[in-house]
Structure 1
Amino acid sequence: MGIAIISPGREVKKWKENFYVLDKSIRVQVYPEISDKEAVEAVLLWQHPKGILNQFPNLKLICSMGAGVDHILSDQSIPSHIPIVRIVDEKLTYSMTNYALMGILNYHRQIFRYQLNQKKKIWDMSNPEIDIHVGVMGVGALGGDLVDKLLYMGIPVSGYGNSPKSGLNFPYYFGDQLNDFLAQVNVIVCMLPLTPQTENILNISLFENCNKGTYLINVARGRHLVEEDLLEALDKGYLSGALLDVYRKEPLPKDHPFWERNEITITPHIASVTNPDAAAPQIIDNYKRLKNSQPLINQINLTLGY
């Protein structure tokens, strides 16, 4: 089996070590030093140069290095007959849920406010809690786990998605019911997959329909958010603040206005990071399944985009 890891600027030593431990016969080549392109049967991708996959004549499997696949699907040159799979990892879910809960509870107990008060030496015991109703946009594997944890904690929660779902134990809205969903909530957590339908969904039109002072958490993709619209929404009071882990350009440029806004808390895309120990076995398993004409695990639906 020949694997190429194409992930510019990302440290992949741990990935190579995991493949070697699991199967010493696997040959791993790392971009840009891929000398034997014909040996590559599977590629492991994160933010790859567009069009590069056309260089591998024997490519049979495309793997995302994480749960998201929008960075792959945005490459229009990828052959449609080659299956694409993503990583599903309990640790990814664990980390993502904990990050979102941290943001929700910090807003609920106004930790951000108290941090500012500490700098100003202000002792203010008024209104120590904000009543919250959380709205989770995207209730798949990651969003569904967050909903479960919120329900366990007794925090009101509603969900929103692109398609109908049945058998849920919480209020759920879909499609053109977005405004009905927004009317119920005052904390929004975006965990949607990035598709043509969801790109730019966090825009001024949506913010105008939020309950005044709604708090936004985006842990999905930077391109879900129209960044200038967030600033306008904060200025006009549609939103009270935001916790952001993803951005349109990463690293976030030093001259970006988000840095200067006290209402915005910034983290550097660390909400949930793929664990190579869990990912490598899935990739090898899928390669063997492909060879044996068996169904692949975590294969994405090209029509849906996730």
Structure 2
Amino acid sequence: MALLFASTADDPELWRRELGRRLPGLEIRVHPEIGDPADIDLALVWLPPPGLLASLPNLKAILSLGAGVDAMLDDPTLPADLPLCRLVDPSLTATMSEYVLLHVLKYHRMQDLFARDQRERRWQLRLPAPASSTRVGILGLGVLGTDAARVLAGHGFSLRGWSRSQKQLDGVACFAGPAQLPAFLAQTDILVCLLPLTAETTGILDRDLFARLPKGARLVHVGRGAQLVEEDLLDALDRGQLGGATVDVFVQEPLPPEHPFWAHPAIDITPHAASYSDPAVGADVIAENIRRFFDGRPLQHVVDRARGY
């Protein structure tokens, strides 16, 4: 019985060390050194090669190293009958909230405008309004969205949130469902997308949505790449409907060198780097699920494949 680790973005030795401290008897094999595929019971993965999981005849559960699992769900060879668990980890949540706070503050404190002034060698004093006058709207009030709202509230921002079903969060004006989306957008100066990728959210960041935001609103997109209609973002920026955008996730990753986002003066790009799991913290969550597996108890954070998260 063994666990297969497969990720090109994570250090396998760090994860092997941290999991070994918590589960001393666990055998961990690192892809591509699989050995006998029939020995593998569990897979701990991030963006595994298509077909890899299907090649493991005795695989019984899949543990993701990330919060998003849409890339795995897009693999037509993904075993349909196995539990797939996303990672809900305090370090991943904390780093996402840091990223959101950083870029909301960037727009609130007009750092994007100061950067433009510097490029144009223009000395211009710009004094920010109180944080309470900046309306931040969070699309998606799951674990990540809820924590981002908590962190932003600590800095005094005026907060609203939108989700598929009704939520109640202290200090957040909550909206729910398609009927309330226009009212949510109309009251949002900085829009933060933290939605999971589903059939309903694919392409949600489009021309119509941007048109419902106040003119000059900013976008911080840390959801999933397929939620953004990229040509509509470029059009909204060029028309001045949006004043700027920070984008961390893309339809195609890595972003091709010829992509127009690279050179656009109103777009800031990061390479899918908004959040990450610290193995010293995330290993607690993974180890607990492994114990549950071997004890025959229900696994945590199992993805509802019909919903996509």
Tell me, yes or no, whether TM beats 0.5: yes
**Equivalent position SS for 1:269:** coil
Of 167-176 and 86-95, deviating more is 167-176
Cross-structure match for 2:141 = 139
**Equivalent position SS for 1:91:** helix
Contact 2:15 2:279 in 1 (8 A): yes
Cross-structure match for 2:62 = 62
**Equivalent position SS for 1:80:** coil
Cross-structure match for 1:204 = 207
Deviation at 1:18, TM superposition (A): 2.3
**Equivalent position SS for 2:172:** coil
Counterpart residue type for residue 205 of structure 2 = L
Cross-structure match for 2:190 = 187
The within-5 A match list for 1:91-106 is 91-106=91-106
CA distance in 2, matches of 1:79, 1:269: 26
CA distance in 1, matches of 2:169, 2:195: 20
Deviation at 1:68, TM superposition (A): 1.5
Cross-structure match for 2:304 = 301
CA distance in 1, matches of 2:140, 2:76: 25
CA distance in 2, matches of 1:167, 1:10: 34
How many positions carry a matched residue from both structures?
306
CA distance in 1, matches of 2:27, 2:278: 20
Deviation at 1:83, TM superposition (A): 1.3
Cross-structure match for 1:230 = 233
Q: 1:83 to 1:199 in 2, by over 3 A?
A: same
Cα-to-partner distance string for 1:204-241 (whole Å, 9 max, x where unaligned): 12112221111000112111111111101111121111
Deviation at 1:126, TM superposition (A): 4.4
Cross-structure match for 2:82 = 82
Cross-structure match for 1:285 = 288
Structure 1 residue 219 and structure 2 residue 217: aligned? no
Counterpart residue type for residue 35 of structure 1 = G
Cα-to-partner distance string for 1:106-129 (whole Å, 9 max, x where unaligned): 101101111222233322124544
Q: 1:258 to 1:287 in 2, by over 3 A?
A: same
**Equivalent position SS for 1:272:** coil
Counterpart residue type for residue 82 of structure 1 = L
Contact 2:41 2:58 in 1 (8 A): yes
Aligned Cα root-mean-square deviation (Å): 1.9
Cross-structure match for 1:71 = 71
CA distance in 1, matches of 2:21, 2:198: 36
Contact 1:61 1:287 in 2 (8 A): no
Cross-structure match for 1:172 = 174
Cross-structure match for 2:36 = 36
Of 173-182 and 115-124, deviating more is 115-124
Deviation at 1:31, TM superposition (A): 2.0
The within-5 A match list for 1:122-161 is 122-126=122-126, 128-129=128-129, 131-161=133-163
Q: 1:259 to 1:129 in 2, by over 3 A?
A: farther
CA distance in 2, matches of 1:165, 1:109: 29
Cα-to-partner distance string for 1:135-157 (whole Å, 9 max, x where unaligned): 00011111101112222322111
Counterpart residue type for residue 216 of structure 1 = L
Which of 242, 246, 253 is the equivalent residue of 2:245?
242
Counterpart residue type for residue 275 of structure 2 = S
Cross-structure match for 1:16 = 16
Deviation at 1:5, TM superposition (A): 1.6
**Equivalent position SS for 1:171:** strand
Deviation at 1:297, TM superposition (A): 1.9
Counterpart residue type for residue 104 of structure 2 = I
Deviation at 1:50, TM superposition (A): 2.4
Counterpart residue type for residue 262 of structure 2 = W
Deviation at 1:166, TM superposition (A): 4.2
CA distance in 1, matches of 2:169, 2:9: 43
Contact 1:3 1:27 in 2 (8 A): yes
Contact 2:161 2:172 in 1 (8 A): yes
Structure 2 unaligned spans of 5+:
none
Contact 1:110 1:129 in 2 (8 A): no
What TM-score do the two structures reach when normalised by structure 1?
Answer: 0.93
CA distance in 1, matches of 2:256, 2:169: 44
